[in-house]
Amino acid sequence: MKFSQIVPKVNHLAHSLTNNPEIDPDLIAVAAIDEAITGTISYIEGKKYAHWVEKTNASALIIPPDPALQDIASHRQIPWLTSGEPRLTFAQVIDLFYQPYRPQPQIHPTAVIAPGVKLGKNIAIGPHVVIERDVKLGDDVCIHPNVVIYPEVNIGDRSILHANCTIHERTQIGKDCVIHSGAVIGAEGFGFVPIATGWYKMQQSGVTVLEDGVEVGCNSTIDRPAVGETRIGKQTKIDNLVHIGHGCHLGANCALAGQVGLAGGVTLGNRVILAGQVGVANQAKIGDGAIASAQAGIHNDIKAGEIVSGSPAIPHKIYLKIAAITQRLPDMYQFFREQRP
Amino acid sequence: MKFSQIVPKVNHLAHSLTNNPEIDPDLIAVAAIDEAITGTISYIEGKKYAHWVEKTNASALIIPPDPALQDIASHRQIPWLTSGEPRLTFAQVIDLFYQPYRPQPQIHPTAVIAPGVKLGKNIAIGPHVVIERDVKLGDDVCIHPNVVIYPEVNIGDRSILHANCTIHERTQIGKDCVIHSGAVIGAEGFGFVPIATGWYKMQQSGVTVLEDGVEVGCNSTIDRPAVGETRIGKQTKIDNLVHIGHGCHLGANCALAGQVGLAGGVTLGNRVILAGQVGVANQAKIGDGAIASAQAGIHNDIKAGEIVSGSPAIPHKIYLKIAAITQRLPDMYQFFREQRP
Amino acid sequence: MKFSQIVPKVNHLAHSLTNNPEIDPDLIAVAAIDEAITGTISYIEGKKYAHWVEKTNASALIIPPDPALQDIASHRQIPWLTSGEPRLTFAQVIDLFYQPYRPQPQIHPTAVIAPGVKLGKNIAIGPHVVIERDVKLGDDVCIHPNVVIYPEVNIGDRSILHANCTIHERTQIGKDCVIHSGAVIGAEGFGFVPIATGWYKMQQSGVTVLEDGVEVGCNSTIDRPAVGETRIGKQTKIDNLVHIGHGCHLGANCALAGQVGLAGGVTLGNRVILAGQVGVANQAKIGDGAIASAQAGIHNDIKAGEIVSGSPAIPHKIYLKIAAITQRLPDMYQFFREQRP
């Protein structure tokens, strides 16, 4: 694809075919800036990577709106696009070069589909899929091989279930959701009441609901509660190996990174971001737009917009201050010993 | 179901059909106190939720033995049960309203079962299950779709294996166990000996044993050891995404919350409780009834009954004290700087 | 197997049939030192277990080159092997007694294999396996039941894929790899760009590469990147429930323990060891031979050979010093209060 063909198809602020207008390279692939070879288009994001404009082998670039970088690229005869959001523009360019694998819409003869299952139009159901009674699939749904769907599940239009995931009874999955391989949605929450002889199992009669556009990573688990709902708000994105306990309510547009764990009954507002391995205790409430750093341990409520770090989690600014002072503890301790041996 | 029909079927200390004995509502569902609507029965546990007696829309309540709460409920014409363990009574009430999904006892024709497998009475084996040679299943065992069972596995009466879980060779599963979707039981422990060219794989010739009543959460993994056993004591309950290394020995009635990780050779006594994301190092021994708070990192032995927190884990009382003092570190540091700049 | 038959088959420095050369026991199994019974061979590693030579019931022992231990064993009429690496020698002895389960080389009729898939010699493909178009399997590959392989995957000679794992499109797996049950290799990295209406999905057009001899634990996940590669160096061993984000590059001979999490773009050198539940932040670089203690949180680059602990991770020696001082904080705080109330 010619660079000039890409220009009108993506968001950008300005572009240049270089000071030699005849240079319009034929681009064959997208590449990271430090791995780019001739024939690829790449992008620069942030100061950390800016110096790569001077040495990359990419044949075209997406760069931030920085005249100095534009000049270097032009001088090196590299045509460029300027974008206020280079990573977003790069994502749009990837879409021009790459189509993710999708199986053909057909129902494989080895799939076992219970009588009475309702199927929309244009559905792909792979080999060895099992769909139990009273399941309803919308149009253009894609079920990869070896997925198991328990009874009474609804799955909205265009949702994709990757191989070997499991959807438990009564789960409601919206439109345009993606469930990655090995994820388990709507299984029984961890509900046991201590009794003299051990534990009394509290049956989990509730339901798990994923609103439209939710994505759940590989081998993540989202449990259903004893009563009521576990609910994931629209467009919320969940990475791999995340655990969401029974009765959690997540708002819209949240992002949960790998290995995050939410205990039972946690509430997240909208646009909450939890970095890797964060843990949140039972019943904690986290406000809109709050952010937790990696490995934070949240035991109490967090206000909207707050940034927290550490275990137990505290405001990030205080965390940084205390972390810095902690480095000085040996000096402080020596002073203490001198003053009061 | 009428409230008066529930009363004789569950444990309780007292009950009231309200001061208007004709009020005996027809209850159609169970509900959480903050989501309860007309026609539901709910429960109150702890002071945090007590104020809901004044405003809940539930048509019947389980409340702790508190005359004030009883009075409020009666005054609002809400019939009530009093229980010393409201959550347990609520679990018993759920059992009256909800039957978990169980497939019919039959062996699906797409299941692949090796010759010589021994099957008890009344067994359900779902589509695409694979059972290899010399496996023995007890009576009333339920194997959901796409489960794989390697050779020489025994599974006791009434145990349930959910979809897409895998049971590896020689694993012994007791009676009344539940293995949730995606769990992997009895796979090879992580045993590698460093050698000049990399790693020498130590074959894992041991076995994993789950005693009666063990429950293993979704996508959890319990490895087998090089020699000897990995053993999970009876009635021990394990949540999702938990890792139990080779050669661990867990006592009875323990509870391990989500994402707990035990390295190799860890020993837990009976009734040990590990909260979410706790990690325990190689060979550590944790005594009966000990409790570890979320994200604790246990490197050494813990005595029976001890409560520990933090990483490295220390007694909880000391942890709380140090955590509080940590908040004062900026003041302490300023003092230190003044005294010795 | 007679002890005298074992002697020539394993690495060792010296051996003794005891001072009674007629004692050459018939050994029937391997055992841990604290569980050994008559007829078993066991081993001693480190001082912690040395006292077991005096009381073990094992009929033969592998012991470190310590004349005192040799004397005790000889005196107890226990034949012994001396090895500088008793654990390695024990692993070699296990190989004499134990052959891991391998299915017969055959292609089960229920496997669904797309036209054009290329199969090497002597391949085992279990029931309900699904192999999509343009996959290539080397010689002696073993695919256990219910594995799913997406299109365009290559798998090298002698690699083993355990039940219920999933290999995504374009993944390259070398020779002699082992992928354990439930692992997911080459799925889409977690790439979303924030936009006004939520998130723009960045398609993951890259590829995941596992070099020869890599082992991936149960339910671990290794994502592919938007562009370029995620690469795991040869002989690197990965335990259960580990998450490796898109675009990570791991060197050779690393070992990652259970529940380790690497965010996107992390680089590990060769022989890096990460203990359980370690987390590494985006783009961090860790040098050859570095070691991180359990639950360490690595945010910045780590030099070759460095040992780090804590979250945020700091050099282990400093960590130990600060951890010790932390225990004295109550005293220091009291002093501070007295001096400046």
ipTM: 0.96
φ, ψ for residue C71, nearest 5 deg: -60, -45
Which residue from B31, B162, B340 is facing A227, i.e. has the nearest CB?
B31
Confidence label for A340 from pLDDT (cuts 50, 70 and 90) = confident
Chains touching A (at least 3 CB pairs under 8 A) are: B, C
In this predicted structure, the answer to whether residue A306 has a pLDDT above a threshold of 70 is: yes
Query: DSSP class of residue B52?
Result: G
Q: Is C181 part of a structural domain of the chain?
A: yes
Residues C117 and C93 grouped into a single domain = no
Sheet of C273-274, strands arranged across? C124-125, C142-143, C160-161, C178-179, C215-216, C237-238, C255-256, C273-274, C291-292, C307-309, C314-315
pLDDT tens-digit series, residues A74-102: 999 999 999 999 999 999 999 999 999 99
A contact residues 134-153, partner B, Cβ 8 Å cutoff: 146, 148, 150-151
Please choose, from the candidates C166, C263, A297, C111, the residue with its C-alpha nearest in 3D space to the C-alpha of residue B257.
Answer: A297
Residue C160 domain boundaries: 112-253
Q: Is B324 part of a structural domain of the chain?
A: no
Interface check for B325 against chain A (CB to CB < 8 A): the answer is no
Residue at token pair 């339910």:
C219
CA–CA distances in Å: residue B36 to residues A149, B33, B57, B61: 29, 5, 6, 10
Which residue from C32, C91, C182 is facing B182, i.e. has the nearest CB?
C182
- Quote the pTM value: 0.97
Residues C87 and C24 grouped into a single domain = yes
Which residue from B32, B101, B110 is facing A169, i.e. has the nearest CB?
B101
A-chain residue closest to B87, CA distance:
A193
Q: Is C233 part of a structural domain of the chain?
A: yes
Collapse the DSSP code of B7 into the 3-class scheme (helix H, G, I; strand E, B; otherwise coil) and give the result: helix
Amino acid residing at A78? I
CB contact under 8 A, C332 and A330: no
How far is Cα B294 from Cα C196, in angstroms, rounded to an integer? Answer: 35
Please choose, from the candidates B159, A339, B223, B26, the residue with its C-alpha nearest in 3D space to the C-alpha of residue C257.
Answer: B223
Q: Which residues pair with B193 in a beta bridge?
A: B200
Residues of A in contact with C332 (CB under 8 A): 332-333, 336
Residues B147 and B205 grouped into a single domain = yes
CB contact under 8 A, A148 and B218: no
How far is Cα A196 from Cα A203, in angstroms, rounded to an integer? Answer: 19
Residues A250 and A311 grouped into a single domain = yes
How far is Cα B313 from Cα B300, in angstroms, rounded to an integer? Answer: 8
Q: Is B296 part of a structural domain of the chain?
A: yes
* Predicted pLDDT of residue B16: 85
Residues C136 and C69 grouped into a single domain = no
Residues of C in contact with B295 (CB under 8 A): 295
Across all residues in chain A, what is the average pLDDT? 95
Chain A nearest-CA distance from C182, in A, is 7
Least confident of A57-61, A202-206, C46-50: C46-50
A38, A69, A97 - which closes a domain: A97
Residues of chain B with pLDDT under 70: 18-21, 341
Interface check for B333 against chain C (CB to CB < 8 A): the answer is no
Residues A76 and A167 grouped into a single domain = no
- Say which residues have a Cβ less than 8 Å from residue A188's Cβ, sequence separation at least 6: A168, A203, A204, A223, A224, B100, B180
Residues B133 and B73 grouped into a single domain = no
pLDDT tens-digit series, residues A221-271: 999 999 999 999 999 999 999 999 999 999 999 999 999 999 999 999 999
How far is Cα C247 from Cα A94, in angstroms, rounded to an integer? Answer: 16
Q: CATH code at A174?
A: 2.160.10.10
C195, C224, C253 - which closes a domain: C253
Chain C nearest-CA distance from B164, in A, is 7
Q: CATH code at A84?
A: 3.40.1390.10
Q: What is the DSSP string of B134-186?
A: T-EE-TT-EE-TT-EE-TT-EE-TT-EE-TT-EE-TT-EE-TT-EE-TT-EEE
Answer whether the bond into residue A64 is a cis peptide, omega within 30°.
no
Q: Which long-range contacts (CB under 8 A, 24 or more apart) does A337-340 make?
A: A339/B339, A339/C335, A339/C339, A340/C335
How far is Cα C35 from Cα B305, in angstroms, rounded to an integer? Answer: 27
CB contact under 8 A, A294 and C314: no
Catalytic residue among B246, B249, B299, B316: B246
How far is Cα A205 from Cα A227, in angstroms, rounded to an integer? Answer: 5
CB B160 within 8 Å of CB B142: yes
How far is Cα A17 from Cα A79, in angstroms, rounded to an integer? Answer: 5
* Predicted pLDDT of residue A91: 97
Interface check for B333 against chain A (CB to CB < 8 A): the answer is yes
Total number of domains constituting chain A? 2
How far is Cα A263 from Cα A42, in angstroms, rounded to an integer? Answer: 41
CB A179 within 8 Å of CB A159: yes
Chain C nearest-CA distance from A60, in A, is 15
Catalytic residue among A12, A162, A168, A246: A246
Q: What is the pLDDT along chain C (341 residues), one digit of tens a residue?
A: 999 999 999 988 888 876 666 778 899 999 999 999 999 999 998 888 899 999 999 999 999 999 999 999 999 999 999 999 999 999 999 999 999 999 999 999 999 999 999 999 999 999 999 999 999 999 999 999 999 999 999 999 999 999 999 999 999 999 999 999 999 999 999 999 999 989 999 999 999 999 999 999 999 999 999 999 999 999 999 999 999 999 999 999 999 999 999 999 999 999 999 999 999 999 999 999 999 999 999 999 999 999 999 999 999 999 999 999 998 999 999 888 888 76
Q: Which residues pair with B185 in a beta bridge?
A: B167, B222
In this predicted structure, the answer to whether residue A19 has a pLDDT above a threshold of 70 is: no
* Predicted pLDDT of residue C18: 63
Residues B177 and B36 grouped into a single domain = no
Structure tokens belonging to residue B300: 């050494």
* Predicted pLDDT of residue C337: 87
Chains touching B (at least 3 CB pairs under 8 A) are: A, C
Interface check for C196 against chain A (CB to CB < 8 A): the answer is no
How far is Cα B166 from Cα B164, in angstroms, rounded to an integer? Answer: 7
Q: Is C87 part of a structural domain of the chain?
A: yes
Q: Is A142 part of a structural domain of the chain?
A: yes
Collapse the DSSP code of A196 into the 3-class scheme (helix H, G, I; strand E, B; otherwise coil) and give the result: coil
* Predicted pLDDT of residue B48: 85
Interface test with A, best of C113, C117, C128, C130 (most A CBs within 10 A): C130
In this predicted structure, the answer to whether residue A172 has a pLDDT above a threshold of 80 is: yes
* Predicted pLDDT of residue A336: 87
Residues of B in contact with A331 (CB under 8 A): 336
CB contact under 8 A, B30 and A146: no
CB contact under 8 A, B333 and A332: yes
Interface check for B104 against chain A (CB to CB < 8 A): the answer is no
Q: Is A336 part of a structural domain of the chain?
A: no
C234, C253, C272 - which closes a domain: C253
Residues C88 and C157 grouped into a single domain = no
Interface check for C320 against chain A (CB to CB < 8 A): the answer is no
Structure tokens belonging to residue C211: 């070099």
In this predicted structure, the answer to whether residue A21 has a pLDDT above a threshold of 70 is: no
Residues A89 and A125 grouped into a single domain = no
How far is Cα C71 from Cα B105, in angstroms, rounded to an integer? Answer: 62
How far is Cα B291 from Cα B303, in angstroms, rounded to an integer? Answer: 10
Residues B118 and B84 grouped into a single domain = no
Chain B nearest-CA distance from A45, in A, is 34
Q: Is B326 part of a structural domain of the chain?
A: no
Residues B254 and B140 grouped into a single domain = yes
Collapse the DSSP code of C261 into the 3-class scheme (helix H, G, I; strand E, B; otherwise coil) and give the result: strand
Sheet of B178-179, strands arranged across? B124-125, B142-143, B160-161, B178-179, B215-216, B237-238, B255-256, B273-274, B291-292, B307-309, B314-315
Structure tokens belonging to residue C239: 């335990």
The more confidently predicted of residues A127 and A50 is: A127
Q: Establish whether A246 is a catalytic residue.
A: yes
* Predicted pLDDT of residue C48: 84
Which residue from C199, C279, C325 is facing A277, i.e. has the nearest CB?
C279
CB C284 within 8 Å of CB C300: yes
In this predicted structure, the answer to whether residue A318 has a pLDDT above a threshold of 90 is: yes
Residue at token pair 């018939």:
C26
Which residue from C241, C299, C332 is facing A332, i.e. has the nearest CB?
C332
CA–CA distances in Å: residue C11 to residues B15, C1, C71, C87, C253: 75, 17, 21, 11, 22
* Predicted pLDDT of residue A130: 98
Residues of B in contact with A314 (CB under 8 A): 327
